[in-house]
Amino acid sequence: MKKIFIILLPLFVLLGVLNLQLNSSAWHNYILVLLPQTDYQLQQQQADLLAYFKDQSVLKRQLFSAAEINHIEDIKKVMNIIRPWLLNLWLLTGLGLLLIWQEAGKAKIIQWTGQAAGRAVFMIIVIGATCLLGFNLIFETFHLLIFPQGNWHFDPRTDLIIRLYPPEFMFYFLVAWLVSSLATLCLLWLLFYYSNSKARIKADVIS
């Protein structure tokens, strides 16, 4: 049970942050702020495209080529599949943690959470460093797997979509996901480390 909890906790945090990033306009806008993009018209077009991906607007087809429209529609199909799956997986992970909490009790959960968070922090640092150093390879592999039809190669000189969402957007998205997950796990570790220390002091006083 302890091993399962140690696996589920970081997974719960990673999935939670990822769900937030995929569904929150604020997260999306924050990542766009990091890009060297000052053109107001492009910023508005980015917002319009995001609204289309979230079924809140229609696609302004006159702005894009046929190849771009095909890729945009493929992205939307993938997002419509991924979002509910990620949300359901996150809820199932949370349910698993709740069941373990009820079975194991508060004292053990406090101890296990500190261990799980500490190990997960180290794991995310290693995985994050690996992903960031090999970002170009990961970016290409991701697109080859998700879009095997190969319609994701665009020229920033002629294609609007690559100017709206350059590879740097994916890079900052990955960085934001890892850093936010890392910060959440560090906070959990500190909170439960404090709770565990407080419980030990109380037990020593009573004894």
- Provide the pLDDT for residue 200: 60
- Read off the pLDDT of each residue in 151-162 and give the average, rounded to a whole number: 88
Helix (H, G, I), strand (E, B) or coil at 158: coil
How does pLDDT run across 102-114, given as a tens digit for each residue?
888 877 887 788 7
Contacts of residues 40-43 at CB distance under 8 Å and 24 or more positions apart, as own/partner, are 42/163, 42/164
How does pLDDT run across 39-57, given as a tens digit for each residue?
777 878 888 888 888 888 8
DSSP tally for the chain: helices H, then strands E: 8, 0
Q: How confident is the model at residue 70 (pLDDT cuts 50, 70, 90)?
A: very high
Cα–Cα distance measured from residue 9 to residue 194, given in angstroms and rounded to the nearest whole number: 18
Computed over every residue of the chain, the mean pLDDT equals: 83
- Provide the pLDDT for residue 38: 57
pTM attached to this predicted model: 0.80
- Provide the pLDDT for residue 37: 60
